[in-house]
Structure 1
Amino acid sequence: MLSNRIAVVTTTALAPVVWGTTYSVSTTFLPDGHPLLTATLRALPAGLILLAICRRLPRGAWWWRSLVLGALNIGAFFAFLFVAADRLPGGVAAVIGGVQPLLVALLASRFLAERLTPVTIIAGSGGLVGVALVALRAEAALDPVGVAAALLGAGSMAVGVVLTKRWASTESPVVTTSWQLLAGGLLLAALTLTTEPLPTSGVTLGAVAGYAWLAIVGTAFAYLVWFRGLAVLPTRVPAFLGLLSPIVALAIGTLVAGETLSSAQVVGIGVVLAAVGTAVTMGGRPGRDRDRSATGVPDTVVHN
């Protein structure tokens, strides 16, 4: 039903809307120079919260599948994301991350038999251009390590999204999301303890609030609705919805920091919204590319 599809798309869009607050929260409230610690404290508590709700552990092949998906969607992606954010201006990181919808569409056409149409390629290219207009600044510096981290993060998430869609599970999204977050969080914790020094300054109330927001709202809630949407929508739709994050980040800067929108940014917002709208409304391939159910749980394919 059309009304159900609209509801699922709207709910899924809440995830990138929330993710659009990550840069502002991280730079305002959290200590600088500790990207892996931030990633760990975002993923691991979120996984424990969801596991406490569902109280189900993986079985059979889902032990190693959860580890693989957790590493791609959470562990590697979060690590690369925060390293990129730590070394690049937010606009540069956003533009590089904007290639993800195209990567997802390409991989889905190869491994999920979803159609890669010229319209999808044009929409993906337009979305990337729109993000560049929204976020990129002329004086932005390109740190090679930061650029590499942003590209690897986009690639890791793209592969994880496609594998999430390809592998089947009869469990609900809250269950499989908890497994991924726990697996990724444990990998991040090990990486943090072995490679990154802990903060020497005291923990402030603002930092506690920032970590709580990222873990509870920005991860537990956001990834739950994101993976639920991925389970029942064509793979391209959640990927394109991710382009909304830079627009939300820009809106926060405009409302909170008093920044003024340029004409290029206004055009960029329109281009991004057009690209997202095209991906959402475009017809899907019958069968695998069709919405799976009115309840949000697919008949055979649950993303995770």
Structure 2
Amino acid sequence: MLSNRLRTILVTALAPMIWGSTYLATTELLPPGRPLLAAVVRALPAGLVLVALTRRLPQGIWWWRALVLGALNIGAFFALLFVAAYRLPGGIAATVGSLQPLIVAGLAWGLLGQRVSLRTALAGISGVAGVSLLVLRANARLDAVGIAAAAGGAVVMASGIVLSKRWTSPAPVLATTGWQLVAGGLLLLPIALLVEGPPPATLSLANVVGYGYLGILGCAVAYALWFRGIRLLPPTDVTFLGLLSPVVATALGWLVLGQELTASQAVGALVVLASLVAAQLRTDRSAAPGPSSPSNASEGAPAPSSNGSSRTAST
């Protein structure tokens, strides 16, 4: 029988695996040249549905915390991803993004007091090397703005992961997921209108299916699983799972689109998977939740329940 920790890791891993199908769904089903529109349609409707289903709004400091987390995890991350995707080949953007586990490890050490082990550092370096083999091409061109955007995307999402752990909400995971999706979607909406203009007047059935897939599975389901994993696992364990996205994207390109899969890509995938497994092989003491923070009681919030919430840390 699987341990609770391993089961949580496997369930959380479904989120980046779903995100790995985003490229395929976008290129095959969505209107071309509208990535920001796709980001808004992914986030905002899904967030509104989750808020309506849970009937839970933020209270007290969670209004601004939800806004900050939504900006980091959704709004700013998607916007920077858009800039990087347009100014860089996908291989370079993915390679820069693979630095995220190392950034999370550093932030977790500074904000959460979690020690960065040698195993974690080596796994992070191996992950970058594996992603490079998997997606990087020799003729890839560099662009300073694109590199800065890709690095900024890795930093803001890493910050969102660590702050999501530090600020564990007393509300259910679906509610906090909804808050962040709404906040991020509202932040992206004016940017999408300014950069891309109004939405297309008509949508094909394929467009509707694509937007529905990205909104329901790519946002509502995937981010709920992701934020649940952040509550139950150390942030470094969670962020290494994100390396599954380029692996899944490459596999789908080979299986569905008939793209060539080279020997170096296969080696890169194996290196990524090995680094991911190595990062999870640690003692359970780093994953054990601490006691509830006294600041939780002072804010009038209920104590964490059996749904897996860990302690809430004060700012």
TM-score range, shorter chain: over 0.9
| 1:52 CA drift (Å) | 1.9
Q: 1:290 aligns with which of 272, 279, 288?
A: 288
Q: Does the CA contact (< 8 Å) of 1:229 and 1:296 recur in 2?
A: no
Letter of the structure 2 residue corresponding to residue 298 of structure 1:
S
Is 143-152 or 220-229 further displaced after alignment? 143-152
| 2:187 match: secondary structure | helix
Matches within 5 A, 1:173-252: 173-199=173-199, 202-252=202-252
| 2:3 match: secondary structure | helix
| 1:76 match: secondary structure | helix
Q: Does the CA contact (< 8 Å) of 1:34 and 1:198 recur in 2?
A: no
Q: Does the CA contact (< 8 Å) of 1:8 and 1:296 recur in 2?
A: no
**Partner Cα separation in structure 1 for residue 86 and residue 307 of structure 2:** 36
- Cα distance 1:193–1:260, how it changes in 2: closer, same or farther (>3 A)? closer
Structure 2: which 5+ residue stretches go unaligned?
291-303
Paired position in structure 2 for 1:28: 28
> What is the aligned residue count?
300
Paired position in structure 2 for 1:300: 311
Matches within 5 A, 1:87-126: 87-126=87-126
**Partner Cα separation in structure 2 for residue 295 and residue 81 of structure 1:** 36
Is 200-209 or 213-222 further displaced after alignment? 200-209
Paired position in structure 2 for 1:10: 10
Paired position in structure 2 for 1:62: 62
**Partner Cα separation in structure 2 for residue 146 and residue 280 of structure 1:** 31
Letter of the structure 2 residue corresponding to residue 96 of structure 1:
V
Q: Does the CA contact (< 8 Å) of 1:75 and 1:188 recur in 2?
A: yes
| 1:28 CA drift (Å) | 2.1
**Partner Cα separation in structure 2 for residue 67 and residue 224 of structure 1:** 17
Q: Does the CA contact (< 8 Å) of 2:169 and 2:309 recur in 1?
A: no
What is the RMSD computed on CA atoms of the aligned residues? 2.1
| 1:160 CA drift (Å) | 0.9
Structure 1: which 5+ residue stretches go unaligned?
none
**Partner Cα separation in structure 2 for residue 147 and residue 26 of structure 1:** 22
Q: Deviations over 1:161-201 (max 9, x none)?
A: 11111113211111111111111111111222334323557
Q: Deviations over 1:131-187 (max 9, x none)?
A: 010111122222333322211111110111111111132111111111111111111
Letter of the structure 1 residue corresponding to residue 224 of structure 2:
L
TM-score by length of 2: 0.89
Letter of the structure 2 residue corresponding to residue 108 of structure 1:
A
| 1:284 CA drift (Å) | 5.1
Q: Which ranges of 4 or more aligned residues in structure 1 deviate by more than 4 Å?
A: 291-296
Paired position in structure 2 for 1:268: 268
> Are 1:143 and 2:117 counterparts?
no
Letter of the structure 2 residue corresponding to residue 300 of structure 1:
R
**Partner Cα separation in structure 2 for residue 100 and residue 233 of structure 1:** 17
Letter of the structure 2 residue corresponding to residue 279 of structure 1:
A
Is 140-149 or 231-240 further displaced after alignment? 140-149
> Are 1:71 and 2:71 counterparts?
yes
Q: Deviations over 1:7-33 (max 9, x none)?
A: 111100000000001111112222233
**Partner Cα separation in structure 2 for residue 25 and residue 73 of structure 1:** 21
| 1:59 CA drift (Å) | 0.4
> Are 1:46 and 2:46 counterparts?
yes
Q: Does the CA contact (< 8 Å) of 2:289 and 2:310 recur in 1?
A: no
Identity %, equivalent residues: 53
**Partner Cα separation in structure 2 for residue 2 and residue 300 of structure 1:** 25
